[in-house]
Amino acid sequence: MAMLQFLVAVDVTVVNVALPAIGDDFGVDGHTLTWVVVGYTITGGGLLMFGGRLGDVLGRRRILLLGTALFGAASLLAGLAPSFAVLVTARLLQGAGEAIALPAAMAVVVLTFPEGPRRSRALGVWAAVASCGLVLGFVVSGIITELLGWRWIFLVSVPFILLVLAAVVLLVPSERPAEPTPLDLPGSLLLVAAPLLFTLGVVEAGEADGTPPWPPAAALVGAVAAGVLFVRVERRSRNPLVPPRFLRNRPRVLANLATALLSAALSTSFLLFTYYLQDRLGAGPLQAGLTMLPLAVSLIAASVLVPRLLGRWGARACVLAGVGFTALAMAAIALVSHLGATGLAMVPAMTLVAAGMGFGIVGLQYVAVTGVTDDDAGIASGVQRAADQLGGSTGVALYVGVGFAPALDGTDPFLASSFLAVAGLAAAGCVAWRISLPAAVTEEKLG
């Protein structure tokens, strides 16, 4: 299960350093390349809660095999993609495979180890592996792209996926499916359609080739319509993805909104680092990957330090610190790009991004699951994970899609993207400031 978690986590960041090589191979600019990133995270985030429900209804072993096989087949298709459209399709399928497999994998871990120290250790390994996958994705991408070519960042995972499938068959016991219950498939599809249509509208609106304005306008209208329909479907569904009682918990709702806004800026920073090192400075994939090592080291340090400070500072203070660190990082990116400085000048920005992720996301995760019960723990975790992924993908589409749009030719794309990200972070700070937890809960959980 940890190996599957690692492969999925790596695939979130592994494409970043390889994007310029992919663009050169298919003749695609940075504006359009955002699809390679957001296609994966949108489908993964949008279908995540539906995937978790599938495992409960149809059996975790069966769904784990289905999701892992889909993820592996999509990885093979991405590595062999003959065109950019096929590559984006493969990334969409990878996201669907992740959404189906990961909730079942985590459920297997939780149910295999009894509650207490053994389960705590198992979940600690699970979380550590995920962090290592996100961090190593940057470095591994540079090494593989430089030595083997970008296609191997996808192909190299296929043998490991086969190993996971064999392990599931041999080690995970089968189970009797639960009693049939209605699944909220319409809600899940609308939750994917809204950000996908929004991304399509933003990308097409930024083109400067004389394309009529009505296709991007229609896509943006469709995104709004899908969002409205999602709310209506959830209200009428007998088994909604997000039960109404969840929305009545004000701190939890605010925490997830702030998570989406913060993740939008964090995901944008990763792409801006890659574009600056390779497109602006001309660094090769290996050099770019090694230059981003300080980001990896800082992320590991933050993951160790922040849980200790959370109890001293409180969740809201940690979240506000994370938002502030991320805003400083975006300002540093804009300054370095304006001055045309060397790649080493980006190290302070990378350190600030790691601090922003460590303080902000950890604090928000704490608030998002505070006060959960056995009945809504899974829902709270799923919504928080979806807010993280969908917020990051939508932020990349908006901030990078607009900042690097050909229609804004003449404007520094790094400055434009950073400005948009800082505006989103200002909104995140306002939301985080309104988060408050009962004093009794804070003292019990943190003290």
Residues 155, 259 within the same domain: no
Q: Are residues 161 and 253 located together in one domain of the fold?
A: no
As given in the structure block, the two tokens for residue 337 are 């790009």
Residue 21 within any structural domain of the chain? yes
Please report, in tens digits, the pLDDT of each residue of the chain (447 residues total): 888 888 888 887 788 778 888 988 998 876 678 788 888 888 888 888 788 777 777 777 888 899 999 999 999 999 999 999 999 999 999 989 988 888 888 777 777 776 666 765 676 677 667 767 776 777 788 888 888 889 999 999 899 999 999 999 998 887 766 566 677 788 888 888 888 888 778 777 766 555 567 777 888 898 899 889 988 888 888 778 777 777 777 888 898 899 999 999 998 998 888 888 888 888 887 788 788 788 877 877 776 777 777 777 777 888 899 999 999 999 999 999 888 888 888 889 999 998 888 888 878 877 876 766 655 655 676 777 788 888 888 888 888 878 887 666 667 888 889 999 999 999 999 999 988 765 444 444 444
Element (H, E) at 342: none
Same domain, 262 and 145: no
Residue 119, pLDDT score: 66
Question: Whose CA is closest to 401, among 387, 388, 386, 420?
Answer: 420
Answer with the one of 125, 144, 172 that is the final residue of a domain.
Answer: 172
Contact 267, 37 (CB under 8 A): yes
Q: Is residue 120 part of a domain?
A: yes
- Distance between CA atoms of 89 and 109, rounded to whole angstroms? 30
- Residue 258 and residue 164 share a domain: no
Question: Does residue 263 share a domain with residue 160?
Answer: no
Taking the C-alpha atoms of residue 354 and residue 22, their distance in angstroms, rounded to an integer, is 26
Token pair of 423 as six digits:
């505006």
Contacts of 200 (CB under 8 A, 6+ apart): 216, 219
Task: Please give the pLDDT value at position 440.
Answer: 40
- What is the model's pLDDT at position 439? 46
Q: What is the DSSP letter of 178?
A: P
- Within 8 A by CB and 6+ apart from 362, the residues are 303, 306, 307, 310, 318, 322
CA distance 134 to 129: 9
CB-count exposure of residue 308 (10 Å: 0-12, 13-18, 19+): exposed
Verify that 28 and 153 share a domain, yes or no.
Answer: yes
Q: Of the candidates 172, 204, 238, which is a domain's last residue? A: 172
State whether 286 and 166 are in the same domain: no
Determine, yes or no, domain membership for 430. Answer: yes
C-alpha–C-alpha distance, residues 66 and 87, integer Å: 21
pLDDT reported for residue 378: 59
pLDDT at position 131, please?
Answer: 66
Pull the structure tokens for residue 28: 């695609």
Is the torsion defined by CA of 36, 40, 41, 42 positive or negative?
positive
Torsion angle of C-alpha atoms 354, 356, 362, 364, degrees rounded to 10: -160
d(CA 264, CA 256): 12
Is residue 257 domain-shared with residue 166, that is, in the same domain? no
Q: Looking at the domain assignment, is residue 216 inside a domain?
A: no
Q: Which of 172, 206, 236 is the last residue of a domain?
A: 172
In a domain, 307, yes or no: yes
H-state helical runs in 277-408: 285-291, 293-313, 315-339, 347-356, 362-369, 377-395, 401-403
State the alpha helices, DSSP H only, in 208-314: 214-236, 244-247, 250-275, 285-291, 293-313
Please tell me whether residues 128 and 260 are part of one structural domain: no
Domain that holds residue 354: 247-447
Q: Are 164 and 283 part of one and the same domain?
A: no
Q: What is the DSSP letter of 408?
A: G
In angstroms, the CA 153 to CA 283 distance is: 19
The CA angle 4-7-13, to the nearest 5 degrees, is: 145
Domain contains 83: yes
Which of left, alpha, beta for 116 (phi over 0: left; psi -120 to 50: alpha)?
left
Statement to judge: residues 282 and 407 lie in one domain:
yes
pLDDT of residue 326: 94
Q: What values do phi and psi take at 138, rounded to 5?
A: -65, -50
Residue 118 pLDDT: 72
Work out whether the CA dihedral 360, 100, 109, 380 comes out positive or negative.
Answer: positive
The domain spanning residue 262 has which CATH number? 1.20.1250.20
Q: Are residues 258 and 164 in the same domain?
A: no
* Residue 240 placed within a domain: no
**Given this model, what pLDDT does residue 76 score?**
95
The domain total for the chain is: 2
Overall size of the chain counted in residues: 447
The CA–CA distances, whole Å, from 19 to 27, 30, 185, 364 equal 11, 8, 33, 30
User: Residue 290 falls within a domain, yes or no?
Assistant: yes
The pTM is what? 0.79
